[in-house]
Structure 1
Amino acid sequence: MKHNSYKILGATLMASALMLSACSTDDSGGSATGSNSKEGGENPAFQEEHKGGTLNLAAANGFVGGLDPQINYADDGWQVFQFLYDGLMKLGQTSGDKSTTPTPDLAEEIPEPEDDGKRYTFKIRDGITYSDGHELAPEDVKASFERVFRISGPTSSSWFGVIKGADKCIDDPKTCDLSEGIDVDDDARTVTFHLTEADPDFLYKLGTPHASILPADSPQKDVGSDPLPTTGPYYIESYNAKTKMIAKRNPHFKEWNHLAQPQGYADEIVYNFGVDGQNATTKVKNGDIDWMFDPVPTDRLGEVSAGPTASQFHTNEQLAMEYITMNVNEKPFDSLEARQAVNYALDRSAMAKVYGGEAVATPTCGILPPGFMGHREDCIYTTDPGGEWNGPDMEKAKQLVEESGTKGEEVTIYVPNVPVRAEIGKYVQSVLNDLGYKASLKKLAGSIHFNYIQNTENHVQMAYTEWYADYPSPSAFDQVLLSCASFHPGSDSSVNIAGFCDEDIDKMMEKASKAQITDEDKADELWAEADRALMEKSPLAPVFTPKRVDFVSERVGNYHYTHMYNALLSQFWVQ
């Protein structure tokens, strides 16, 4: 899970802050969207008359993970890297479903998997030039993946350990040689990957910033704040994490696939740091800044989401889940009935209101987010099961607690010590007390909460947390969060926080995963079955899908939002 540096601030919103405007589509090809409306259509072909100008952005802080695309694991950097770097594949740079679909980027086309999904051969495009003037070569691909291991990239082993020879790179990163797993034919301009086993998510992983292709002679270390040569429409002229980043148009860039890497509109992008949410909101409203990374403060939402600025206010669902996890190996949640009772009892609408209302959160009771393969509106734990969540069933919940024999037991809920999350924790505490438990709340510093609740030695019974996708595959939720392989007792890196392990469901997920390679429709059915089977076991309680709020200046046109990487900044018109 990449670090989500975009946070909703504050504990509650006044009702006036939730009165969002209806959808108003402009003539830019994008749209200004209220909480109940859809985003714009596909990103149109480049329109020369809108080229030029300076796009001004603002954030409270510089990038969490620096400028190295193979190191940075945070959403602020990944958003900017979209217009700087390229991989063999890329998720579509557009609004809508294509933003979760791999498309060929530096590769000419998506190759058919061979050898039962264990071999992929990519033909590298001709004529792609880095911002420093030298041409991209096939050997850069092999060198880039070796660099991922040599610099100990955060996903080197978990994502790319499936490449033949990667085991040696994991053992000795500094001398990494992937000759066994990556063949390069310079004359044919092909690169062939040999995998130890089929990986249905391999193409998704090749479309992330961690798979960016860099010059073969790039430094074999984290470059920190030093820019690397880019293949995208911009390069970084200067960067200071305390003040600003300036990106200029890459003079060598020529658009090769509009869906993968569209030409940028602004001649210059200036990203100003040290601008807090209050100041940024005022600057956007006044037209001094065109877009702000940080959330609009809760006391300003009503002001900017209605009236003259309503068309500048956009909300979009994220590929994420806020949820309550229940430890199946600790009392009282070693009882299936106790876990199901919690799922029936939670008023997800009330919890969404605490978070900020349906402007920023959509109640849900399924694990897979909307838009994912396998997602179904098929809620089990509600007053009228079988469709969308429509309300809690407290009577059923209390009945299950009685059947479980756990009434009166003590339960501690762990939450991050952040106002809005603490308020949600208080609500869950009250629900547990209403069910007959003796509930208490434990607040942990946000910097340690996620690691703490993963370690079984801490005997965490229940916790409130979040999960954001690294790539849009159902395995990134169901398997990562709830497979037997993701449970590591005694470790701070055990994202299966519930400690859930069901070998039969594991087999269902494995079958669904394999089907992705050959039959996506069948895989969609199998993932839906696996997701429902997980929810029947109730190791966690999905609460809501969070939304991203974007506030842009009046002059910005062509607003588009990708499900994975947020607003497409390079596609904003500023003239």
Structure 2
Amino acid sequence: MRLKLAFLAATVLISGPCLSLAAERGGVVNVATIGEPPTLDPMASTADLVGIVTQHIFETLYTFDKSWKVTPLLAESLPEMSADGKTYTIKLRSGITFHDGSEMHADDVVASLGRWMKIASRGKQAASFIDKVTATDPQTVTITLKQPYAPLLSLLAFNNSAAVILPAENQADTMSAVIGTGPYMLKERKPDQYIQLVRFDGYKSRSGESDGYGGARHQYLDEIRFVPVPDPNTRVEAAISGQYAYVDSIPVEAYDRVKSSSASKPIMLKPFGFPVFVFNTKEGLSSNLAVRKAVEKALNTEDMLAAAFGAKEFYEADGAFYPKSYVWHTEIGTEGNYNLGDPEGAAKDLKAAGYDGKPLRILTSRQYEFHYKMAQVAAEYLKLAGFTVDLQVVDWATLTQRRADPKLWDIYISHSPFLPEPALMGALSTSSPGWWDTPARKAAVDAFTSEADPDKRVALWQTVQKTMYDELPLLKIGNFNAVSAVSNKLEGVEPAPWPYFWNASVKP
């Protein structure tokens, strides 16, 4: 697939620090995150914060290289595929050790994929296409599909709702022991204080060069501490002072201040992704399509983006789910459905839908400050349309918990990076909060995911996007650029949507 947008290429406004061959082993780094992750089980959550932390602890069979191509991680190589596209034979790397000292074998992989299909939203998405997963021998796993399923490898590579490999005996629905194969292992977690990871001396890295999330993973650091810093202004001041080695997700208006700092420098990914309003299509007010359409008509998304990101160098009003630099870009479905800003028209539609003044419950968090700013603008437009708005501002961990219960909300605000495979989008999974599950969704999504030909898949994606606009499980607000900060004392941190700290080192 033609992906002009790669996270290690021209999208980055500063180049990643070049790690010298003489990188020193040792050092402790503190990483400021937007808050406390709701879990350390990467299968059980789609929260980016969970993936950022746990990708250092757990590993998947595959991952993505710097060009967003699937590349082996725990698998020895890309799978052998049958001519009909329904059988994947996966050879495993030998000598891989879990943090408890046991060696990884095929039975661990079979058990882990079974758990993934049972509890992970993206695993459930794949499960309906999978006939069976078997251990052919101790180092070989075979996945047999009911029908071809093009996104399978991307799903197995993704660190979000991730198909991580766990010991076969550690497969309870609620994770009781945080044991993976990754370069760092959990030493201590103090809620609301830090998550302490230390080097796993039994780690076996892939050979060769580092390549995005793939290739060699060097363990230069002794210890990584992820520290929750929920207040965005505090994160900005911490970046300017150099209090943390890395500061995630700082407001874009602080870019110039960080740039002028002597302690840190900003990293901007352009475009990073898109903020979304996700509708509860299962229960409550927004389960009514007419109500969802009234919300869509009422909102001026450009005003929301301006409030959230300020200068236009940080955002673009764009209704397409992929920007023009992606092969997946299409405007189909957006015409007459994006950035309407017509609260008067929405009020008429709302009255015709029989709206009775019931509060529209919107979940948001100030830990992502741009979420909150968009929510404030949206609330005013929605009030003009006649909605009674209940804006519920909570911490991110609480939001991710509440969104799992369809009785508690109508809209929640989130965002996503632009993903290499559209089927990775959470909204396409019927088990993802929002629970979009209609005959039109099934027809469009199943046709898209079962087609192997790349050119035909591009055309089928147009139908999926149109269906998303027709049925509105979520409302895309626009494109935005993400800003973080890295200390001048830290090198080897490559700009990435989910920052990772293997290969990073402290300057001597």
> Smaller-chain TM-score range?
0.7 to 0.9
Aligned twin of 1:428: 378
Aligned twin of 2:134: 182
Note the alpha carbon deviations across 1:78-123, whole angstroms, 9 max, x for none.
223333332221123x3xx42xx32122222222443744321111
| Pairing 1:345-424 to 2, within 5 Å after superposition | 346-357=299-310, 361-367=315-321, 374-376=328-330, 380-381=334-335, 392=340, 406=352, 412-416=359-363, 418=365, 424=374
Secondary structure (helix, strand or coil) at the match of 1:562 reads coil
Secondary structure (helix, strand or coil) at the match of 1:571 reads coil
For the structure 1 residues 408 and 369, does the alpha-carbon distance in structure 2 shift closer, same or farther, using more than 3 Å as the test? same
Note the alpha carbon deviations across 1:204-255, whole angstroms, 9 max, x for none.
232245422234454757555x54252x333445544444514225354242
- How far has the Cα of 1:519 moved from its partner? 0.8
Aligned twin of 1:262: 216
User: Residues 68 and 228 of structure 1 are in contact (CA less than 8 Å); yes or no, is this contact kept in structure 2?
Assistant: no
Distance 2:59 2:86 in 1: 23
Secondary structure (helix, strand or coil) at the match of 1:509 reads helix
Q: Give the counterpart of 1:136 among 104, 121, 124.
A: 104
- How far has the Cα of 1:263 moved from its partner? 2.4
| Pairing 1:285-304 to 2, within 5 Å after superposition | 285-293=240-248, 295-296=249-250, 303-304=257-258
Note the alpha carbon deviations across 1:138-168, whole angstroms, 9 max, x for none.
333224335657xx74449614634867xxx
Aligned twin of 2:54: 81
Aligned twin of 2:502: 570
1:523 aligns with 2:457: yes
- How far has the Cα of 1:182 moved from its partner? 0.9
Q: Give the counterpart of 1:312 among 254, 261, 266.
A: 266
- How far has the Cα of 1:291 moved from its partner? 0.8
Q: Give the counterpart of 1:271 among 225, 233, 252.
A: 225
Aligned twin of 1:175: none
Secondary structure (helix, strand or coil) at the match of 1:495 reads coil
Aligned twin of 1:202: 152
User: Residues 63 and 72 of structure 2 are in contact (CA less than 8 Å); yes or no, is this contact kept in structure 1?
Assistant: yes
Distance 1:276 1:399 in 2: 38
Distance 1:335 1:236 in 2: 45
User: Residues 249 and 268 of structure 1 are in contact (CA less than 8 Å); yes or no, is this contact kept in structure 2?
Assistant: no
User: Residues 268 and 481 of structure 2 are in contact (CA less than 8 Å); yes or no, is this contact kept in structure 1?
Assistant: no
User: Residues 319 and 468 of structure 1 are in contact (CA less than 8 Å); yes or no, is this contact kept in structure 2?
Assistant: yes
Distance 1:221 1:454 in 2: 18
The one-letter code sitting in structure 2 at the alignment partner of 1:550 is S
Q: Give the counterpart of 1:38 among 12, 15, 25.
A: 12
Secondary structure (helix, strand or coil) at the match of 2:478 reads strand
For the structure 1 residues 501 and 59, does the alpha-carbon distance in structure 2 shift closer, same or farther, using more than 3 Å as the test? same
For the structure 1 residues 369 and 55, does the alpha-carbon distance in structure 2 shift closer, same or farther, using more than 3 Å as the test? farther
Between Structure 1 and Structure 2, how many residues are aligned?
A: 486
User: Residues 351 and 427 of structure 1 are in contact (CA less than 8 Å); yes or no, is this contact kept in structure 2?
Assistant: yes
Distance 2:259 2:71 in 1: 34
Q: Give the counterpart of 1:56 among 18, 21, 29.
A: 29
User: Residues 347 and 386 of structure 2 are in contact (CA less than 8 Å); yes or no, is this contact kept in structure 1?
Assistant: no
Distance 1:561 1:84 in 2: 20
User: Residues 304 and 313 of structure 1 are in contact (CA less than 8 Å); yes or no, is this contact kept in structure 2?
Assistant: no
For the structure 1 residues 185 and 63, does the alpha-carbon distance in structure 2 shift closer, same or farther, using more than 3 Å as the test? farther
Distance 1:200 1:182 in 2: 20
The CA RMSD measured in Å over matched residues stands at 4.7
Q: Give the counterpart of 1:126 among 94, 99, 120.
A: 94
Gaps of 5+ in 1: 1-28, 166-179, 488-492
User: Residues 70 and 211 of structure 1 are in contact (CA less than 8 Å); yes or no, is this contact kept in structure 2?
Assistant: yes
Distance 1:449 1:144 in 2: 23
Distance 2:130 2:301 in 1: 45
User: Residues 413 and 429 of structure 1 are in contact (CA less than 8 Å); yes or no, is this contact kept in structure 2?
Assistant: no
- How far has the Cα of 1:562 moved from its partner? 3.3
Q: Percent identity?
A: 17
TM-score, reference length from structure 2: 0.75
Distance 2:24 2:243 in 1: 19
For the structure 1 residues 256 and 132, does the alpha-carbon distance in structure 2 shift closer, same or farther, using more than 3 Å as the test? farther
Name whichever structure is richer in strand by fraction: 2
Secondary structure (helix, strand or coil) at the match of 2:110 reads helix
Distance 1:448 1:283 in 2: 25
1:110 aligns with 2:64: no
Aligned twin of 1:438: 386
Secondary structure (helix, strand or coil) at the match of 2:112 reads helix
The one-letter code sitting in structure 1 at the alignment partner of 2:127 is G
User: Residues 199 and 221 of structure 2 are in contact (CA less than 8 Å); yes or no, is this contact kept in structure 1?
Assistant: yes
- How far has the Cα of 1:525 moved from its partner? 1.9
Aligned twin of 1:14: none
Distance 1:361 1:404 in 2: 30
Aligned twin of 1:552: 486
User: Residues 162 and 197 of structure 1 are in contact (CA less than 8 Å); yes or no, is this contact kept in structure 2?
Assistant: no
For the structure 1 residues 106 and 401, does the alpha-carbon distance in structure 2 shift closer, same or farther, using more than 3 Å as the test? same
1:542 aligns with 2:476: yes
For the structure 1 residues 371 and 328, does the alpha-carbon distance in structure 2 shift closer, same or farther, using more than 3 Å as the test? farther
Distance 2:56 2:286 in 1: 49
Deviates more, 1:314-323 or 1:118-127: 314-323
User: Residues 200 and 514 of structure 1 are in contact (CA less than 8 Å); yes or no, is this contact kept in structure 2?
Assistant: yes
- How far has the Cα of 1:527 moved from its partner? 0.2
Gaps of 5+ in 2: 1-6
| Pairing 1:442-461 to 2, within 5 Å after superposition | 442-444=390-392, 446=394, 447=398, 455=406
For the structure 1 residues 469 and 410, does the alpha-carbon distance in structure 2 shift closer, same or farther, using more than 3 Å as the test? farther
Aligned twin of 1:13: none
User: Residues 199 and 219 of structure 2 are in contact (CA less than 8 Å); yes or no, is this contact kept in structure 1?
Assistant: no
Secondary structure (helix, strand or coil) at the match of 1:253 reads coil
For the structure 1 residues 325 and 273, does the alpha-carbon distance in structure 2 shift closer, same or farther, using more than 3 Å as the test? closer
Distance 1:70 1:345 in 2: 36
TM-score, reference length from structure 1: 0.67
For the structure 1 residues 86 and 244, does the alpha-carbon distance in structure 2 shift closer, same or farther, using more than 3 Å as the test? closer
Distance 2:353 2:122 in 1: 46
Distance 2:256 2:15 in 1: 26
The one-letter code sitting in structure 2 at the alignment partner of 1:52 is R
For the structure 1 residues 117 and 340, does the alpha-carbon distance in structure 2 shift closer, same or farther, using more than 3 Å as the test? same
For the structure 1 residues 501 and 270, does the alpha-carbon distance in structure 2 shift closer, same or farther, using more than 3 Å as the test? closer
Aligned twin of 1:247: 198
